[in-house]
Amino acid sequence: MANCFHCGNDIVETERVLFDNKKFCCNGCKTVYEIFSTNGLECYYDFEKMPGTTPSKVSDKYNFLDNQDIVNKLLDFQEDSIHIVRLYIPQVHCSSCIWILENLNKLNEGISTSQVNFSQKKVTVNFNPLKTNLKEIVLLLSSIGYEPYISLENYDAKPKLIDRSLIFKIGVAFFGFGNIMLLSFPEYFNVDDYWMQEYKDFFRYVILLIALPVFLYSATPYYKSAWNSIKLKTFNIDIPMALGIIVMFVRSVVDIFFQDGQGFLDSMCGLVFFMLSGKLIQQTTFNFLSFERDYKSYFPIAVTKLVDEKEVPIQVYEIEKQNKLLIRNQELIPVDSILISEHAYIDYSFVSGEAIPVEKKSGDKIFAGGKQMGEAIVIESINTVSQSYLTQLWSNDVFQKKSEFKFRSITDRASQLFTPALLFIAFAGLIYWGFINWNSAFNVFTAVLIVACPCALALTAPYTWGNVIRIMGNKKFYLKNTIVIEQLSNVNAIVFDKTGTITSNDSNSIKYIGNDLSKEEIIAIRNIVRGSNHPLSRRLYNFLPEGKIDKPTMFEEIAGAGIVGFINDKTFKIGSTKLVGLTEEQISIKETRVYIQINEMNKGYFVFENQYREGLGDLFKSLIANKYKLFVLSGDNDGERKNLERMLPEGVSLVFNQKPEQKLEFIKNLQDQGLNVMMVGDGLNDAGALAQSNVGVSISENVNVFTPASDAILDASNFSKILYFLNYAKNAMKTIKMSYGLALTYNVVGISFALTNNLSPLVAAIIMPLSTATIIGFVTLMTHFYANNKS
C-alpha cells in the first residue's frame, strides 16, 4: 500500500489522487502540495512527513471573521497598514511546523512576518489589512493543516501543557508491565507445579497479547522520532531507544514461538513505562521552566495613575479598566487605552518595526506597546495589562544580540555525538559477548542502549538557567531570557551611567540661583518638566510647588540637552548650557545645573546636589576587589569629579561630557580591547550604549520607561547587590559544569556495568529516569545553595 506524499497516510486505491507524478490520499493534500510547490516551498518535505494534520473542510466555519467587531477583539494591534494577531495552533510539534509557519509570507503577500512561540504553540502574524484579512489567513492555515483554535471566551486561557496522549501511553505501558510481571511469577521462581507446566505456553501467549499494545501504541513516539531522525540524516537519542525496544520484542517473539522461554516482554514493557515516565518528567520540567513567566516578574516599572487630579505611582499590574493614566515622554503605553488628551504622537516601532510616530486624536484607541513621543498625555485604560504581550515586546527578535553561547553549543554537540558513539559501543559489546554467550550478548546490547541516555545531560543547562532566572526575578533582577545568565558570567568590565543610575531621584538638596521667577513661571516650568522622564526633570518636578496644571502647546525633549516648551505665550528652554546658548568658559563653578531661559533671556539655574545611592562606595570597592574594570560615564560636566574621586576607590575611570552617541562609542572601544562589557543605565539617554554592550542593565525607579535594548531590568532598591548577581551567574555556570560531570559519570559507570553484563535491561530502564530526577534535584539544591550564599 502506497503512502500519501504530503501527510504520509496510507492511500486507499479507490480514493487515490495523482499529481506531478506523486500520489496523494485526497484532494486536500494535493492542494497543499500545489500551494507549496507554486510558492517555492518544496523543501518543506525535506524536514519530515506529517508536520501538520490533514486539512479539514472549513468553508463556512470561519464566517464569523467577517464581523469586524469580533476581529477587533482578536487583534493585538491594528493601525492603517499593520494588523497583528496571535493564533493558537495545536498542531505545532516539530521543526518543520516552525519552518512553514514562519514562511507564511511566501503563501500570502499580505503577510509581512510570522513568528512561532513553540512552547505556547502560538504564531504571531503581522499582516497588511489592505492586502489580506484575518479570515483569509485562518483559511490559509487550515488549508495547509494548521487550523487555529479560536474562542472568544477562553482565547487567552493557557493551553494544557501536558500531552494527554503521553498519559494514555504511560497507562497502557504500566498496565502491560504490571500484568506481565504478575503472569510471569511461575517463570521467575521456576514453580514445579503440574498445572503451571501444563499451561505455561498459554500464559506466554497471553503475555505476548498483553505486550502488543505496549509495543504498537505506547512505544510509537520512539519509532516516529527515530525514523524522522534517520530520514533527516541526523542522530537523536530515540534511535537506540527504538532499536532496543524492537530487538527485545522480536527476540521475545522468537523465544515464545520456538518454546525457548518467555523472552523479555516484562523488561520491554518496563522499559517503555520508565522511559515514558522520564519523558513526562522532562516535559513537566520544561513546562515548569517554560520561560513565559508572569508579567509581574518582568516589569517592576510603575505608571502614574491620576486620582482626583493627584498623581499616584502604581505598578503596571495594578492597572484596572477605566483608570486614568499619565504617560510622559518616552514612556510605554502599558495597556490598550482611549486617548483623553487632545492629541498624541505614538511610536509603535517596538510593535510593528515602523519608527514613524502615529498621530492620535482625542477619543482614538491606543494599543499597548506604543511609546509616547513628546508632551505628557492622559489616557483611559480599556483593559488590564496583558499577561504576555509586554514580555513578547521585550523578547522581540529585533532586539536580540548576536553572541556565542558556550554551554548551549556544548549541549548541542553532545547530543549529536552521543548517539553514534552509543551505537558503536552497543554493537561492539554485542559482538564481543556473542563469542561467549548469545543470551548475555543480547542483555549487554539492550542494557547499553537503555542506560546511556543523554537526557540528564540535555536537561542540565536549561533547568539550571530556568531556576536561576526565577530566583533572580524574586530578588528584583529581571532577565530578558536565559541567555543573559551566561553573558553575565563572562562580564569583566562594568560601565555605569551617572545621573539616574549611581545617583537617586531624591528631590532634596535643590536650590535656585538667578533672577527671581514669578509664581506663574515656576508653575509653567513644573508643567513643562512634567512631561519628561529624565532623572533631573523628575527631581525638579517633585521639588517645585504644585499649582494649576496647564498643558504646554509645544513640547520637545532633546536627548542630552534638555527641554523646549511653549506655555502661556512664553518659550521656555530648560536644560544644559548648550541649550541656552552658554559656553563652559562662561561658567566659573562646575556643578550639576539645569538652566532656565524664558523668551531667549537667561533667568538662572537650579543647582542639584547629587544624592548618590546608598552603599555605592562599598559596591565599587567590592567590584574592584573582584578584578572588574569600572567606568563612570556622565553627560554632565566634571563638577562632581572630586566628590566621586573621594567616594570611589582607586581604579575607577571617570568620563564626563559624554553625549549619547559618545557613550555608545566608548562601549565599542572597550569591546575592541577584548572586554566583555556590562552597561548599567537609566534607559533614557543610554539606549544605544545598552544595545551595544554585551549585557545592558536598565535601572527601574518608579518610571515606566521601556528599553527593549536592555537585557535586564534591575529594581533600584537592589542596586547595591550587583556583585551578588554577577557572582550568582558565575555560580550558575559552575553548577552546569558540575551537573555535566555528574551526568557523564552516571553514563560512564552505567555503560561499564552494562558492558560487563552486570546490568539487566529492566534495571537500566529504571535507572534512566532516576538519573534525570537526580540531575533535577542536584541543580535545584545547588542553585538555591548559591542563592543563599551572600559571599
C-alpha grid cell for residue 211?
Answer: 505486550
pLDDT level of residue 156 (50, 70, 90 thresholds): very low
Read off the amino acid at residue 46: D
Query: Could you tell me which of 391, 394, 402, 407 has the C-alpha nearest to residue 485?
Result: 407
For the chain, the average pLDDT equals: 77
Q: State the virtual CA torsion across 614, 615, 616, 618 in degrees, nearest 10.
A: 170
pLDDT per residue as tens digits for the range 65-106: 888 878 887 887 777 778 888 888 877 765 566 777 888 887
Domains (range + CATH), the chain: 1-31 (no CATH), 39-159 (3.30.70.100), 164-290+405-457+736-782 (no CATH), 296-399 (2.70.150.10), 464-502+614-729 (3.40.50.1000), 510-608 (3.40.1110.10)
Query: Beta-carbon neighbour count of residue 182 at 10 Å?
Result: 10
In which residue are the cell numbers 513578547 written? 392
Return the CA Rg of the chain.
Answer: 33
pLDDT per residue as tens digits for the range 41-53: 555 555 444 444 4
Least confident piece of the model among 288-297, 350-359, 705-714, 781-790:
288-297
Percent of the chain at pLDDT > 90 equals 9
Long-range contacts at 597-601 (CB < 8 A, ≥ 24 apart)? 597/572, 597/573, 598/521, 598/570, 598/571, 598/572, 598/573, 599/570, 599/571, 600/571
DSSP conformational letter for 361: E
Distance CA 28, CA 298 (A): 44
pLDDT, residue 702, reads 58
pLDDT, residue 51, reads 46
Tell which wins on pLDDT, 403 or 567: 567
Read off the amino acid at residue 521: E
pLDDT, residue 306, reads 87
Average pLDDT over residues 159-181: 81
Tell which wins on pLDDT, 433 or 405: 433
Tell me if residue 544 falls in helix, strand or coil.
coil
pLDDT, residue 622, reads 92
DSSP β-bridge partners for residue 497: 633
pLDDT, residue 209, reads 93
C-alpha 115: how far from chain center = 13
pLDDT per residue as tens digits for the range 590-643: 677 889 999 888 888 888 877 788 888 899 999 999 999 999 888 777 777 888
pLDDT level of residue 283 (50, 70, 90 thresholds): low
Average pLDDT over residues 571-587: 78
In which residue are the cell numbers 552658554 written? 582
Q: Is residue 721 scored above 80 in pLDDT? A: yes
pLDDT, residue 154, reads 43
pLDDT per residue as tens digits for the range 464-518: 887 888 888 888 888 877 778 888 999 999 999 887 788 776 655 788 888 888 8
3-state secondary structure 252-309: HHHHHHCCCCCCCHHHHHHHHHHHHHHHHHHHHHHHHCCCCCCHHHHCCCEEEEEECC
Distance CA 559, CA 173 (A): 66
pLDDT, residue 280, reads 77
pLDDT level of residue 683 (50, 70, 90 thresholds): low
pLDDT per residue as tens digits for the range 508-565: 578 888 888 888 888 899 988 888 877 788 888 888 888 887 888 888 888 778 899 9
Q: Is residue 13 scored above 80 in pLDDT? A: no
pLDDT, residue 644, reads 83
Tell me if residue 630 falls in helix, strand or coil.
strand
Average pLDDT over residues 363-374: 82
C-alpha 56: how far from chain center = 33
pLDDT, residue 538, reads 82
Read off the amino acid at residue 603: K
* Residue 271 contacts residue 244 (beta carbons within 8 Å): yes
pLDDT per residue as tens digits for the range 654-680: 888 887 788 888 999 999 998 999 999
Least confident piece of the model among 157-161, 281-285, 307-311, 497-501:
157-161
Least confident piece of the model among 26-35, 491-500, 683-692:
26-35
Tell me if residue 505 falls in helix, strand or coil.
coil
Q: Which of 348-357, 408-417, 744-753 has the highest mean pLDDT?
A: 744-753
Query: Could you tell me which of 419, 334, 409 has the C-alpha nearest to residue 379?
Result: 334
Distance CA 186, CA 181 (A): 10
pLDDT, residue 196, reads 61
C-alpha 771: how far from chain center = 27
* Residue 131 contacts residue 147 (beta carbons within 8 Å): no
pLDDT level of residue 350 (50, 70, 90 thresholds): low
Q: Which of 198-202, 356-360, 645-649 has the highest mean pLDDT?
A: 645-649
pLDDT level of residue 189 (50, 70, 90 thresholds): low
pLDDT level of residue 151 (50, 70, 90 thresholds): low
pTM score, whole prediction: 0.66
